[in-house]
Every structure is written in C-alpha cells, then in structure tokens.
Structure 1
C-alpha cells in the first residue's frame, strides 16, 4: 500500500526533490531528499521525529499533513516556505495526500519540488501533471445559490462559455473566482483540453516570466528545457488569478503574446504559436488599479472583453444558510461527529456578520466548528471568536424566539476591546447572553435549548457567573 502511494506521488511532478510520509500522530515514518551533488536519493534522518519538531515554524493548523488527515481531502500545488530545526528556510511546491487503510486515514504522504533555499531560487516552478487533464473541475452545478443575481451570473457563464472571448472575473477574496473560471472551461468546447491555473501573486516576478513562457536549457544558471504555462494550456484555458499582481513590464509581454498568439521561451530565438483562451481575475475594481498604475489599460481592454462581477457574500445573505448546510454536509463525510445544523442564535449571527473573507471564510467557520463541536448542533461555543465577538454584529443582532437586542452588550464589548483582555471580554459577553436567554425563556431548560447547549452545561455556567435564576 505504501509503495503504491510512493509510486503515485512520484508521478505528480516531472521530478521530485523530497518525499515525506507521516503517521496519524504526525511522526515521520519516511523522509528522503534528492541530493543535487551526486544525483542520488538520500534519507534525511528525520524518521521517528515529529514533523512539528523538524519544522518548528509549523503547527497542527498550518501543517499540510495534519490538514489532509483532518479533512480527508488532498492539497495540490501548495507553495510553502518552512524553516527547519537548523534554521534554514526552504520554499517548496508540494502536493499532500491522505493515506487510507480499511477506510481509515492512517497518515499522509507529501511530494515536493524545491524552489528556493533561504530565499535564493533553485529552479523554475513546475506544474503538477495531474492538473492538466481538466478532469474533476467545477461546473455550474458547483455554484450553490438561490440568489437571483447569482443565478443570472450562472446563465451568463453558460452563454459566454460557448465562445473564445477573454473573460475577466472581478470579486473580493473568497467569492469563488476560480470556481467561475473552471465553470467557464468545463462548459466550453475546450473542456477536454487543459485547464491551467496560476495565481500571479504567489510567484516572485523573476520566476513568473519563465513560468509563463518556459525556458531553454542554459538560458540562465540552472535553467532546463521547460514548457511554460502558455504552451501547457495550448487549445485549452489559462486562468491568471490576481492579474494585477503581475509586474507591469511582464504585463506588456503577456499582452503581446496574447495578441499575436505567439511567444518565445526564455533563451530561445524561435517563436511558438499558441491557441489558448485567457480567463483572468482580480479582487479590486480594474479602473482603480489602472489609476494606481498597477494594471496596464491596454491589457485590461484586451482581457476585459467580457467582465463578470461576483457579489460578496454580505450582498447575497439569503445564500448563507444554504451554503452553511452545504459545507456541513461536506464535513460530515470526514467528521467523526456528524453535524445536524446550527442553533438559531448561530444562524442569526451568521446572517448578521459581514463575512470579509466571503464564502471561504464561511467554509472555514464550519470546518472550525466541526473540530470543536460537542453535540450535533453548532452553538456559540463552536464558532470562531472573530465572528462571535465582532462589535458590529453584537450591536446589530436581533435574536429570535423573543430574546431582545441589548445595546449595552455592544457598548461593553467596544470598551473591552481596547481596555480588557480577550478572555474577560468573552466571559462578559457569554454572561450577558445567558442572562438574556434566561430572562426571555424563564427556565434553565428552555434557555439551554435556545442557546444550543445542554441543561447541565448551562447550569454550570449559571453557577460559574453567579447568575440569579
């Protein structure tokens, strides 16, 4: 079984520089790296150590191994910079997959390509071979909504997908721009051709040009014959996310390649012809970016033939319960404690919260709850503090089941934010919530039901805070 996982991982990239296997507790079971001096595979000597010990900069929350073991979902093409126990910083492009046995996740395996050591680039960033197939991409059915504007956008995507016009997607971080881009490809005549995605802000400008156009061996120190993303996306779709992060001079070069449908690899005098549809995205209004000289106007007019604006989640609040239920069902497949839903109070808090991180933040909130939930319903105790103790939401919330809004709670919170430690602020707010629930419901049993907790747990809180019942 392990050998099969190693063989699979070895085929992810053209050449692996490191392979790491951990068990369920994060203890390293197998660790090798490619030695550039004698071109051999060597054991790193980390077997038996915790991955958190080898890379002290990691935590269980940030480690890709712990994340895939927690969710059961692979992480593909993640760029990460890790500082090891010797103080050296390594930048990798990695893909991490869970290892399963008898339907149980028993560990994780990660294959990596080394990009830089202590900030010094080692090579051009590769592209994962499995992403070239175009399989497993999102489609219009993946866009979960009941919002009228979003449904109009879905219809627009269906129509636009049929043609080859350049599309620019504009929306805040976390609104699902890549989902839209993949749907455009999936419903197009190019659906059986490659879909290549690149976040322009994730790559240093000196590497992005070679990544896009490719290189010829010897064009610079360490350069190898490498196809660029334009060539890899031939006859398919190239998605350039956060386009405005691309250096202005490189924007001019990509514009020329798009207009002429020709390009030259770095170090080559020969032109190559390419047929590719460009879909781009940015998280700010293009005209503002042009005004700040972060986006070339000619590139905007060339790539913004069709513009699709994605509304933020706060402007489609009717989708919040729908998306919450959708994410709950997703995490129920991997969670040992299935969730039935959210309490009435949590639903109200979710509805009143502005979600600056949009759908991604909502998904993360449900994932957070799935790790801490004690019962079957997500309650106040299970949601991130940033959502629960937002001053605006505390002031604006109007509770269901007759529990009134309490302006003095928000006032106390705003004072506490600047003068009191978070633990005291949390305790004061929790006490106020319990007092209001007891006042409204008249009994500990009914108040516990409203708050989404057990009678015993609420009785403990009543005693803890010395609340008169």
Structure 2
C-alpha cells in the first residue's frame, strides 16, 4: 500500500526500525514503536485513518509475542466455548418449547376437542379419526366458514404425521407466475439477489400440506401438482436434480368439483388423486344442535380475552341464535358472538346485543339494561369511561344542555 508523500519526518525510519526489532524478537519494543508510528500517521493524515486501519491492525498482530498470541487465542477459544454452550442451552430450550407447543396443538385439534353433537358432524369426526392414522390424501368440501381447515388440522394432529409440519396455503393467493418458486422452491443465484429457499411442498416433508380452495387453482398449476403426486418429487427453480418428497395432501374447496370437471375447469385425473377419502362438511343450518354449543364456546373465549369475566346468553338470545339460518356458517357465528361481547353492558348477552338480521323485529322484548353498578364490575376501565361519557352526553341532550338539571 503506497504511503502519502507528505508523511511526517522520521515515520519511514521508525517503520523500518519496527521491522528490525520484530526480527530480533523484541516484541515489547516493536509494539511501543508501532504505537508511536500510528499516532504520528493519524495526526498527519486524519482523513486516511480508515484506509490504513487494516494495515496497522496487521502490524500490531505481528508485534504480539508468542505468549501474547497464545493468550489471545486462549481468550478467543474461551469466548467461543461460552457461546457454543449458550447456543446448546438455547437449542435445548427451543426443543422443549417446540415439544410443548406440539402437545398443545395435538390436544387442541384432537377429535374430542371438536364441537359437534349433531349426527352429521359426529359421523364426519368418526371418519376423520379413522383416516388420521393413514397416509391417504383427503378432500374436504363444504360451504365457506364450515370449518374445513379445522378438520384438516384434526386429521394431521391426530395421526402418525403429527410430529411433522402442517403447512397451509390458500391457492387463490398464489398466481401462476409464482407457483413453482412458492411450491417447489428456488435455488440460489437464479436471479440477482435471490437466495436459496425451500418450497411449500419440500417444507411439508413428513407432514401435511393443506391446499385450501384448490378448486380455484388454474389448470396449469393443477398439472404441476398432479406430477408431484405421481412422481413423489419436486425440482426447485434453477435446480438440475429433483428432490424426493413425502407429504400427505389434504385439499379443501367450496366449489362443486364434479361440475367443474364436466365444464373443463378441473382435471379429472387430479380429482381422483386428491379424493381418496371425501369429507363433506354440513352447513351450520343443518347442525342446529351444535349452534348453541359453538356459541357458548366462543362466548367463553371472547369474554376471557376481553377481560369480561363469566358471561351468559339470555333465553331470547339463545333462541334467536338457534333459529337464524347462518349463511356464513361457523365463521359468521364466531364474529357475531365477538361483536356481542364487545357491545354488551353487563355479563349477559341479550337479544338487543345481537345484529338486527339475527334478532329480527323482536329485539325490543329483550333489551340489555342500561349500565348500572353491576355493569361497572364487568367492564374494562377504558370501555367504562367511554360508556360514562356517552351517558353524560345523552343526559345533557335530554335536558336541553342544562347541566344543573342533568346532574339531578
């Protein structure tokens, strides 16, 4: 590295003397002399410090004695050992946490945890339990919001593949241009800045790949999925050799695939590949016995998450929930209960707390009482202040803005 011509006097001579001392084994003297050289250089060329920093660092390493180098090496090894031990501890903790989380998922998505007392749903769950310990592909059909992904998770976490991953993807969210890179993966260097990435199929190895809304997948993408099922391998984008995969495919759709096949929108050969076992989930209106069970479960969940304590439904609210036809199925019921919990004044959900389309014209017969002392105990502080503010404004409006009358 060439040195600037305007170096301070004597710097070159000092550097030459430094190498002489270093060759004689005078590490202490050479280190002291190098420190003087560095200070002289930084004072003369402050703008070049970064450029020459590496040079001086190398010279400083050369000036270390054998004992100093051994000490530095020992300290480095100790730090590495400590880091390795810490990583081992973290690895073991992550493994334990992962095991606990998998156990929680298995309990949450076990057949016994699924709410379904109606004969139709009970039959679906029995069939799901029987198919869980196999590796066959499953097709789940049903209207939107009937719980197709829930049943897919029950099959996965109740079967022999429960220790493997459960990967879910909505087929409508993956355009044809990204299908291969998303599903098959991509090799490093295929394009500028592209890093190696495993695809969804390879990421599901040993587990379950859940394809939601497979009926909306294009014919071109259907052909690629069919080839994976036939060959049991994928070739990542940019790769030369295929990668073997072992997955279980669970697909779901709200479409009539038989009609789509007749109209040329779905491949017949793929249909029979994914439909080894077919589970057709009934809509909620055909599961009247399950409506209140599901509603009570959602009520407990949302009341706890919103800090509302124990909550119940009034008789009129229960009757309205059971009588409604629920076009949005379980998802609509869940949203309705969440809304009711958020708006309720007290620990009971009245008919007046439900949406107009659900309560019909009879809401006036079962109104939620205005907030009183008993409601104060059930409401979170922030929501209570908002309700008090609204009540004061309403009272002022009734009294024509007269604060004295409103206070009375």
TM-score by length of 1: 0.55
**Which residue of 380, 383, 386 corresponds with 2:351?**
380
What is the SS of the residue equivalent to 1:169? Answer: strand
**Which residue of 369, 378, 386 corresponds with 1:454?**
369
2:320–2:351: 8 Å Cα contact kept in structure 1?
no
**Does residue 351 in structure 1 map to residue 322 in structure 2?**
yes
Task: Report the Cα distance in structure 2 between the residues aligned to 1:219 and 1:294, rounded to whole angstroms.
Answer: 32
**Does residue 294 in structure 1 map to residue 265 in structure 2?**
yes
Task: Report the Cα distance in structure 2 between the residues aligned to 1:192 and 1:331, rounded to whole angstroms.
Answer: 30
Q: Sort the Cα spacing of 1:221 and 1:382 in 2 relative to 1 into closer, same or farther, 3 A.
A: farther
Within 5 Å, which residues of 2 pair with 1:129-140?
136=105, 138-140=109-111
Q: Sort the Cα spacing of 1:336 and 1:181 in 2 relative to 1 into closer, same or farther, 3 A.
A: same
**Which residue of 120, 131, 147 corresponds with 2:118?**
147
Partner of 2:85: none
Q: Which runs of 5+ in 2 are unaligned?
A: 1-97, 373-393, 399-408
Task: Report the Cα distance in structure 2 between the residues aligned to 1:209 and 1:222, rounded to whole angstroms.
Answer: 18
Q: Sort the Cα spacing of 1:365 and 1:304 in 2 relative to 1 into closer, same or farther, 3 A.
A: same
Task: Report the Cα distance in structure 2 between the residues aligned to 1:274 and 1:236, rounded to whole angstroms.
Answer: 10
Partner of 1:185: 156
356-365 vs 335-344, which moves further = 335-344
Q: Sort the Cα spacing of 1:311 and 1:255 in 2 relative to 1 into closer, same or farther, 3 A.
A: same
**Which residue of 370, 373, 386 corresponds with 2:341?**
370
What is the SS of the residue equivalent to 2:251? Answer: strand
**Which residue of 266, 288, 293 corresponds with 2:237?**
266
Q: Sort the Cα spacing of 1:356 and 1:220 in 2 relative to 1 into closer, same or farther, 3 A.
A: farther
- How many residues in Structure 1 have an aligned counterpart in Structure 2? 273
* Deviation for aligned residue 1:208: 3.0
Task: Report the Cα distance in structure 1 between the residues aligned to 2:198 and 2:371, rounded to whole angstroms.
Answer: 64
Q: What CA deviation, in whole Å up to 9, does each residue of 1:262-289 have, x standing for no partner?
A: 1100121211111111111101222122
Task: Report the Cα distance in structure 2 between the residues aligned to 1:456 and 1:339, rounded to whole angstroms.
Answer: 17
**Which residue of 199, 212, 221 corresponds with 1:241?**
212
- Say which one has the larger Rg: 2
Task: Report the Cα distance in structure 1 between the residues aligned to 2:259 and 2:345, rounded to whole angstroms.
Answer: 47
* Deviation for aligned residue 1:249: 0.2
* Deviation for aligned residue 1:194: 1.2
What is the SS of the residue equivalent to 1:279? Answer: strand
2:345–2:368: 8 Å Cα contact kept in structure 1?
no
Q: What CA deviation, in whole Å up to 9, does each residue of 1:87-135 have, x standing for no partner?
A: xxxxxxxxxxxxxxxxxxxxxxxxxxxxxxxxxxxxxxxxxxx89x856
Partner of 2:311: 340
1:134–1:194: 8 Å Cα contact kept in structure 2?
no
1:343–1:452: 8 Å Cα contact kept in structure 2?
no
What is the SS of the residue equivalent to 2:121? Answer: helix
* Higher helix proportion: 2
What is the SS of the residue equivalent to 2:117? Answer: coil
**Which residue of 143, 146, 150 corresponds with 1:175?**
146
* Deviation for aligned residue 1:212: 0.7
Q: What CA deviation, in whole Å up to 9, does each residue of 1:331-367 have, x standing for no partner?
A: 1222232353222222222122111111111111111
Q: Sort the Cα spacing of 1:222 and 1:357 in 2 relative to 1 into closer, same or farther, 3 A.
A: farther
* Higher strand proportion: 1
2:128–2:155: 8 Å Cα contact kept in structure 1?
yes
